[in-house]
A and B are shown apart, each in its own frame.
Chain A
Amino acid sequence: MRTTDLTRTGTRQGKNNKPAAKPMLVKRAKAALNIETPTPSARPVTLSFEYAPSLESADIVKLKPRYGLYIDGKMVEPSSGRYFPTVNPATEAVLTEIAEATEKDVDRAVQAARKAYEKVWSKLSGRERGRYLFRIARIIQERAREFAVLETLDNGKPIRESRDIDIPLVAAHFFYHAGWADKLQDAFPGREISSLGVVGQVIPWNFPLLMAAWKIAPALACGNTVVLKPAETTPLTALLLTEVFEEAGLPPGVVNIVTGAGATGAALVSHPDVDKVAFTGSTEVGKEILEATAKTNKKLTLELGGKSAHIVFEDAALDQAVEGVVNGIYFNQGHVCCAGSRLLLEESIAETFIEKLKKRIDKIRVGNPLDKNTDIGAINSKREFEKIQRLVALGKEEGGEFYEPAGTVLPAKGYFHKPCFFANVSSSFTLSRIEIFGPVLTISTFRTPQEAIMKANDTSYGLAAGIWSEKGSKIQKVASALKAGVIWANTYNKFDPSAPFGGYFESGFGREGGRHGLLPYLEEK
C-alpha cells in the first residue's frame, strides 16, 4: 500500500510546512447538485499548480548517539576520547557525534591494514577478492534507500540525486571493480603486476559515499588494504558502509575507517607504513600532500579542484544545451570538482541563451533536501556557505551582470543558496579564475572556435570541459585542443565506473575508473 504510506507522510508535512497549495474550493454538497450545466465564465482561466512537499521519510536511518573508529573490523573508541558533532546542513541540527582520530589511532589503523594485507588479503586469489566486492555491491543495492537518506541528511544534497545518482553509482563502482579483480593480468598483458600494500585514502564531502567507493573498490580489487578518512562534515555513510563490510564478511583490517579533520588526514598521508596515498579534495590541501609525500617512496594520486569550461556553439541544440549547463553547474549545489562553472557562449546566441537560462533557473526548486521535488538542497557546511556568499559579494564588486531567481524563497534555517550566474564576466575577474564550489556560474562570450579554445584553456585547472554543437567534426577538433581530463560532448556530468576521471595542472594527476584507474593501485614490474 505504497500510496497510503505517502499520503500519511504528506499529512505530517502539511503541519510543518507552509501550505503549498490552496485547498480545493469548498462547496457544500447541496451546491454540488447544481453543476450539470457549467457556463464558460464559471471555469477558472488559469490554475496555479504548486507542488506540495513530498518528503522521503528519514525513519529508515537509525543513528547511534556517537560513532567510534572502524579499526581491524571493530568499532573502537578514539585514544583522545574526543568526539566532534556532524550537522545536518538543512536544519543546522546535530545528527550525532564522531570520533576524532589521533596520530596514535591512525597508526593502529595502518597496523591493522598491514596485518590484514600480509596475513589475508594479499594471499587471496583475484576471484576470491571479487566475490567480496560483488557481495558488497549487492548489499549496497539492497540498502540503497537507507544510504540515500543518510547521505542526504549528512550532506544536504537532494534525495532525488542521492537516490538516483550517488547510490546507484556507488553500487556500480563495486560491481565494476569486482569484475576486474580476477582479470588484472588481462588488463595489462605482457606485464607483471602486483598489489602495493596499505593504501591511505582521504576523501571530500561533496559525494561522500561515492568518493569512498571510487577509492575503496579499485584498491581492494587490486589486492591492497585500506585506511580511509572521510571528510569531517560527512562521515556517516562511510561509517554505515562498515555494516556492509561486516555483512559481506570482509576480513577484519582490510578496510579501516578513521574519522577526523585535517590533522587526522595529515597523520594518515605521512604515515611511514602507507605505500600509496590517494586524495580527492581541494588544490590547497593537495599541494600540502604533494609536499608531505615528496621525499618518500609513496605512490600518489591527486584529484583536485577545477574551473571547467562549458562551451556552447551557435549550432548547438539550444534547449538541451540549457539543460546541460544547468546540470553542469547546479547539480549537487555546484559542489562538483568537474562542475561546468565557466560558460562560454558564442556571441551570436548569447542573448537568447541567457534568456532561456534565466527562465530555466527560475524553475529550480531550492529547499528541503528530503523533499523529492527539491532540485538544489543545502550547502554542506557553514564554512562553505559563507565562502560562497563572500565570493558572490566579490563578484558583484568586480562587475558582470548578476542574476538570481527573484521568486525563489529559501528556507529560514539551514545553509541554502539560490542558483545564480554572472554574465559578461572577464577572464581576469576573480570569479573566472578560482573555484567557487557552489551554485554560481560565470558567463562570457567568444566569436570563433579558436577563441573558445583559448578561453577554455585559460585556467590553472584542467579537470573537465563540455562542448555543445550538432557538428561532429567541430566537436572532435575542439575536444582535441582542450587540456582537460574529461570532455563531454552534448552532455555534462555523466559518470561511469568504466570511464577514467582525473585532471591536468592544478586539478591533480592520476586517473580513477576504467582500466587507467587500476594502475595507481598496482606495481608494474
Chain B
Amino acid sequence: MRSITVRGPEGRLLPILVPPVDEVGAQERADFFTKRSIKKESKLQALYLAIRMCDLTTLEGADTPGKVLQLCAKAKSPVPPSLFAAFAEKKKLEPIPSVAAVCVYPSMVKVAADVLRGTGIHIASVATAFPSGQAPLSTKLDDTRFAVEQGADEIDMVINRGAFLSGRYQEVFDEIRAVKEACGPAHLKVILETGELGSLDKIRLAAEIAMEAGADFIKTSTGKIQPAATLPVTLVMLQSIADFYRRTGKKIGMKPAGGIRTAKQAIQYLCMVNETLGPEWLTPDLFRFGASALLNDLLKQIFKEATGRYYYEKAFSLD
C-alpha cells in the first residue's frame, strides 16, 4: 500500500495511507449501478431526494445579479407550488422541495444571500481562484474570506493540481488546511478536479489528502474540465470516505459535479451511495449533486410519475 507523509498541525508527522485502485474492477463495479432498476415509489423517493441534494449552480463569466436572482427563485421553488399542487393532487404527492444550495462566484454571494436568508437554502461559493487555482495562496485566502463575509456558508475550493501532479503533497495539504481555517464556520468542499489527475490511484490519493486536511466534503470537478463527474471516479471517492469513516469516525460528504444531467444518472449515483456508504449518507448534509440541467429533468420525471405522461420541456422554467 502506498503511503505518503505530511506535516500536520504543530509539525506532527501524519502518514496518509493510500490503497491501490484497480481501474478495471472499479469501472465494473460502477457499471453495476447502471443496472439497478428503480421504479414506482422508490423512484419517486429518489427524485425528491435528488432535488433536495442539488447545488443549483451558475458559474459563468457573464453572471449578473439578475441571473443569480433568477437562480435563487428557482432554488426556492423549482416549480410554482400552486401549479404543481394541481398536478399532484391525484397522487397526493409531497410538494416539490427546495434545493440544498445555490453555488455562485464570490462576487455574486451577497446577491444570493440577501434573497435566501431564512430559507434554509445554503449559499455555496467557489473560491481559491476557481477554476484553475493558479494564484498565490494569499489571493486564495482573501477570495475565501471575502465569500464568507458576503454570506457564503459553504466554500467550494479547488486543490492545487500543479503542486499535486509534481508531487508537492505537503503544499496541497497546507493549502487546504489554510483555506479551511479561512472558512471559519463555513463548510469546506474540496474540488479534486479529477479530470486532470490522470488515474484513479491519483484520485484516491487526492481524496485522502483532502480529508486529512479538513475537508467537510470532497467534490469531483469544477465542471470546466472534461471528463467531470463519472461513476467510477465517484465510487473511488466514496470508498475513500468509507475508509476514512472507519478510521476516524468522521463522516465526510461527497459531491459529484458536472455532467450529471438526467434523473436516471442521478438515481444511479444514489444507488451507489446507498450500497457503498449506506443510507445514512443519503442526506443533503452528506451528499450533493453539483448540477444545473439536472433539476429540470428531475421535475420532468416527477410530473411524469404524477400524471403518467411526460411533459413538454417548456413546461419548466429554464432557471
Contacts and interface: CB of A to CB of B under 8 A. Distances in A.
Interface in B71-94: 76-77, 81-82, 84-86, 88-89, 91-94
A51 to B, nearest CB: 5
B44 interface: yes
A47 B20 contact: no
Given A47-B45, A54-B39, A470 B22 contact: yes
Contacts of A30: 85
B226 interface: no
B26 A38 contact: no
A324 B36 contact: no
B119 A20 contact: no
Interface size class of A (residues with CB under 8 A): 35 or more
B40 A10 contact: yes
B120 interface: yes
Nearest to B274: A49
A7 B275 contact: no
Interface string A302-324: 00000000000011111111011
B249 interface: no
A33 B236 CA distance: 42
A21 B41 contact: yes
A159 B76 CA distance: 42
Given A35-B95, A39-B120, A24 B48 contact: yes
B44 A24 contact: yes
Counting chain B CB atoms within 10 Å of each CB, the highest count among A14, A34, A38 belongs to A38
B135 interface: no
B279 A46 contact: yes
A40 interface: yes
B314 interface: no
B interface: dominant SS: helix
Given A32-B84, A51-B42, A470-B22, A46 B280 contact: yes
Contact of B22 (A6, A34, A46, A490): A490
Nearest to A468: B22
Given A14-B40, A35-B81, A320 B21 contact: yes
Contacts of B236: 319
A29 interface: yes
Contacts of B195: none
A164 B1 CA distance: 34
Nearest to B1: A315
- How big is chain B's contact interface, by range? 35 or more
A363 B272 CA distance: 11
A6 B42 CA distance: 13
Interface in A467-522: 470, 490-491
Contact of B85 (A6, A19, A33): A33
B19 interface: yes
B120 A38 contact: yes
B282 interface: yes
A46 B251 CA distance: 14
A51 B21 contact: no
Nearest to B76: A36
Interface string A10-46: 1100100001111111111111111111111011111
A26 B85 CA distance: 12
B225 interface: no
Contact of A320 (B29, B270, B274, B280): B29
Given A33-B82, A47-B49, 12 more contacts: A14-B40, A21-B45, A29-B86, A42-B120, A45-B285, A49-B270, A49-B274, A52-B38, A52-B41, A317-B22, A323-B25, A490-B24
Interface of A: 3-4, 6-7, 10-11, 14, 19-40, 42-52, 54, 160, 164, 314-321, 323-324, 355, 359, 363, 372-373, 470, 490-491
The list of the 9 closest CB pairs from A to B, nearest first, reads A320-B25, A21-B41, A29-B85, A54-B37, A317-B22, A40-B120, A32-B85, A372-B37, A320-B22
9 contacts: A7-B39, A47-B282, A48-B279, A319-B26, A320-B29, A363-B275, A372-B37, A470-B20, A491-B25
